[in-house]
Amino acid sequence: MSYECFFIAQKLYIFVELSETRKKLNMQKLLLLGDEAIAQGAIDGGISGFYAYPGTPSTEIMEYAQHSKEVADKGIQCTWSANEKTAVESAIGMSYAGKRAMAQMKHVGVNVAADAFVNAAVTGVNGGFVIVAADDPSMHSSQNEQDSRFYGDFALIPILEPSNQQEAYDMAYNGFEISEKYNVPVMLRITTRLAHSRAGVELKNKKNQNTLSLPEDPRQFVLLPAIARRNYKKLLEMQKQIQEASNNSKYNQYIDGPDKKIGIVACGIGFNYLMENFDGNCPYPVVKISQYPIPENHLRKLRNECESILILEDGQPLVERQLRSFFNEGKKVHGRFDGTLPRDGELDPTIVAKALGLHVPPEIKISDVVKMRPPSLCMGCGHRDVYSALNEVLKPYGEGRVFSDIGCYTLGALPPFNAINSTVDMGASITMAIGAADAGLVPSVAVIGDSTFTHSGMTGLLDAVIKNSPIVVIISDNSTTGMTGGQDSHAKGRIFDICKGLGVHPDHIRTFIPLKKNHEEAVKILQEELAYNGVSVVIPQRECIQTAAKSKKAAKKA
Amino acid sequence: MRTDIILGGVGGQGILTIAAAIGLAAVNNNLYLKQAEVHGMSQRGGDVQSNLRISDKPIFSDLIPKGGADIILAVEPMEALRYLPYLKKDGYVITNTEPFNNIPDYPEVENILKEIEKLPHKIILDADKMAKDIGSARASNIVMLGAATPFLGLPLEEIEKGVKALFEKKGEDIVEMNIKALKAGYDFAKSKL
């Protein structure tokens, strides 16, 4: 046996060749995160383009592709997009041209992309199109725990929800074909635990990429009302086949058990937590769901055979809602709605054990000695210097006027800075400042990062310019997408020109280097711009210390 | 055979390197493995953990149930206490004594150690000092890996191979240093049994 491993961007990708038998069979098993399994599945399934904006827990799909030699050799596209909407649109474009494309994003990214995404179900596809939605129940790194399956359900497309890393690989691999077969995008929905957990994955034979080919119907992608109505009818007609595919899917299973008191519906990784509690031998009948729409055949059987139903889903109670009327003919449906499972947060083996009435060890309380250790801005980070100056400058104006955004600088909400009053969605800092200023909160301040600015801040700044809002927009520029681990920022080296181009007066686009020694300069600039009755942009510019350290290390090696 | 391990520390302390070394040894021995990591926001100086499960039978859950961990391996003492609800009744806590103090209300280290001393099964060591004595403060996490090795269900030689493979590309000196660190931790734990 041999193995080799290497460090990539401080992450470990361990490639493991298994036993000699496997070698003989020319089979290879890799130890992959769920995210990485999806990337490899797409590569082996004949993808031509990955499109994404970084967002936990989806980021590692693109990173894996970017570090893959195979991707480079095959000329597979894998650069970051400005935001999730541009990513999905680029993927639709590649599908139009006949090739296979994937767009990956975190759950709230699907909101940003929703216009393109929902309409892509109406255009249908030419080359296969898989959209990966990485949900974050328990909000480990997110502002909500919305469940992307609702989007897939609403768009009338098949959803695949792997229960383990192998299925994640297989579904990415097969997803393009499902998409092409039924002429719809396919949603691949995962949650944080699978995205960021590693296990052995067996690879399949590699498929070739599609060749360039235009859609047979030149108007397929022209969603004028008359054409959209026709396409939509086709999509509705296709539902029967999509349902049939779910009923017959190998990812959906009916697993019989002797005790018919409860029938269990286990979705995605909920299946693992169930099986964990019974060491793989569940005494109750189980319907494992990993492909949607829900498999009616298996569920009908479960309804006929079992006295009551328990539904396990890692996310919001979508299936439970769908099944309540289906099962509520004298049979109790247990799940998140009736309190058998908590209404919010991710599942785990202990929660599932309790729902099944199994014995769980008595809860041990964590000692009072243990304190919370919240994340914080790195020591030496430029955002720190920005908040020190801003807090000082705003004192005479009073509290409650700083609207911020999504990135490392959101940590300015915590002590010692307590510097910001909002974080809602990508880009909302600038536009919320406009609204607050309209209401009379003058001056209002926006704090946004460079990558978030080009993601969704530019259009808001244009709004501000058009009405000459009395706001100060601080674009805290660390020249990277920091919170997700330092991906390239579209804004790098372009912020001044973008702001000027959008119509901000060059006299009111100010820059400084956020360092302790420049504190006085920063204070002076901010004071002057707060006093100005119009749109100001202040750009503190200093590279993220994490990426700076990384490039220094890389330079040393080279 | 099955070993469930919770690795605890603070973002940037190198718990994923420990996980990778054990992971390599596990896969090299044809064992099943699942390893859940924390990425994203918490990596900025927050508490981080990894659930590492190795077994000769397929593993279902990526997460270890409460009361199910055979080992809590903490590279920081307060973080050892954070995960106690996950420890099996007869499970081992293996912890470093060197605090990572990045919060204003960090408790007195003596109070933390007092709590750990109360546990029936524990290995407590100053891995930072041991690593420094060997010649590299950065090898502290590998000292901790060594201290956990008697409890992993895998022989020391296999863990050694994993460590070698991890550091191979960094040169022989680095490999040697880390093997020394591994053995120092291992010998310390053995002497406490």
Both ends of chain A: CA-CA distance in Å?
31
Neighbours of B169 (CB within 10 A): 12
**A82 and A208 housed in the same domain:** yes
- In angstroms, the CA B143 to CA B126 distance is 9
pLDDT in tens, A321-357: 999 877 766 788 999 999 999 999 999 999 999 999 9
A267-300: pLDDT as tens digits: 999 999 999 999 999 999 999 999 999 999 999 9
- Does the structure show a pLDDT above 80 at A19? no
Q: Which of A202, A232, A247 is the last residue of a domain?
A: A247
Q: Does A441 reside within a domain?
A: yes
CB contact at 8 A, A334 and A310: yes
**What pLDDT shows up at residue A77?**
98
User: A177 and A231 share a domain?
Assistant: yes
Tell me the C-alpha distance between A123 and A18, whole Å.
44
pLDDT band at A25 (very low <50, low <70, confident <90, very high): very low
Partner B contacted by A360 (CB < 8 A): yes
pLDDT at A5: 32
The number of domains in chain A is 3
Q: What is the DSSP letter of A364?
A: P
Q: Are A454 and A316 members of one domain?
A: no
Using a CB-CB cut-off of 8 Å, the residues of chain B touching A370 are 78, 81-82, 107
Among A340, A355, A370, give the residue marking a domain's end. Answer: A355
pTM for the structure as a whole? 0.94
Q: Which amino acid is at A548?
A: A
Shortest Cα distance, chain A CAs vs residue B133, angstroms: 26
Q: Do residues A209 and B48 make contact, with C-beta atoms less than 8 angstroms apart?
A: no
Residues of A within 8 A of B53 (CB-CB) are none
The proportion of chain A whose per-residue pLDDT surpasses 90, expressed as a percent, equals 89
Q: Which residue has the tokens 């290879």?
A: A28
Q: 3-class SS at A150? A: helix
Residues 6+ apart with CB under 8 A from A108: A55, A142, A143, A144, A146, A425
Of A492, A495, A466, A470, residue with least CA distance to A481: A492
A287 and A414 part of one domain: no
Average pLDDT estimate for B30-51: 86
Q: Strand order in A332-334's β-sheet?
A: A253-255, A286-289, A262-267, A308-312, A332-334
Q: How confident is the model at residue A558 (pLDDT cuts 50, 70, 90)?
A: confident
**At which residue do the structure tokens 């609204």 appear?**
A435
Mean pLDDT of chain B: 94
pLDDT at A6: 31
The CATH number for A213's domain is: 3.40.50.970
Following CA atoms A86, A499, A409, A444 in sequence, which dihedral angle do they give, to the nearest 10 degrees?
A: -120
Residues 14-33 of A with CB under 8 A from B: 14, 16, 18-19, 31, 33
- Give the model confidence (pLDDT) of A201-260 as tens digits: 999 999 999 999 999 999 999 999 999 999 999 999 999 999 999 999 999 999 999 999
Residues A151, A153, A155, A158, CA torsion sign? positive
Residue A298 lies in a domain: yes
Tell me the chain B residues in contact with residue A364 when contact means C-beta distances shorter than 8 Å. 67, 84-85, 87
Say yes or no to pLDDT of A10 above 80.
Answer: no
Q: Which of A226, A247, A268 is the last residue of a domain?
A: A247
From the list B11, B37, B45, which residue is nearest A197 (CB)? B37
Which residues of A fall within a CB distance of 8 Å from B119? none
Report the C-alpha gap between A141 and A56 in whole angstroms: 6
Q: How far is it, in rounded angstroms, from Cα A139 to Cα B110? A: 34
Beta bridge partners of B53: B4, B34
* Residues of B with Cβ-Cβ distance to A57 under 8 angstroms: 39-40
**Interface check A109 vs B, CB under 8 A:** no
B113 CA: distance to closest CA in chain A (Å): 10
Amino acid at A262: I
> Between chain A and chain B, how many beta carbons pairs sit less than 8 Å apart?
173
Q: State how far residue A241 is from chain B, nearest Cα, in angstroms.
A: 32
Rounded to an integer, the average pLDDT of A310-317 is 97
Q: A111 and A117 in contact (C-beta within 8 Å)?
A: no
Domains of chain B: 2-192 (3.40.920.10)
Question: pLDDT digit string (tens) for A444-500?
Answer: 999 999 999 999 999 999 999 999 999 999 999 999 999 998 999 999 999 999 999
* CATH label of the domain that carries residue A330: 3.40.50.920
Among B28, B38, B107, beta carbon nearest to A371: B107
Q: How many residues belong to chain A?
A: 558
Chain A residue numbers with beta carbons less than 8 Å from the beta carbon of B78 are: 369-371, 373
A544 is in which domain, residue-wise? Answer: 382-548
pLDDT of amino acid A12: 43
Q: Which of B16, B18, B27, B82 to mutate to test the interface with A (most CBs of A within 10 A)?
A: B27
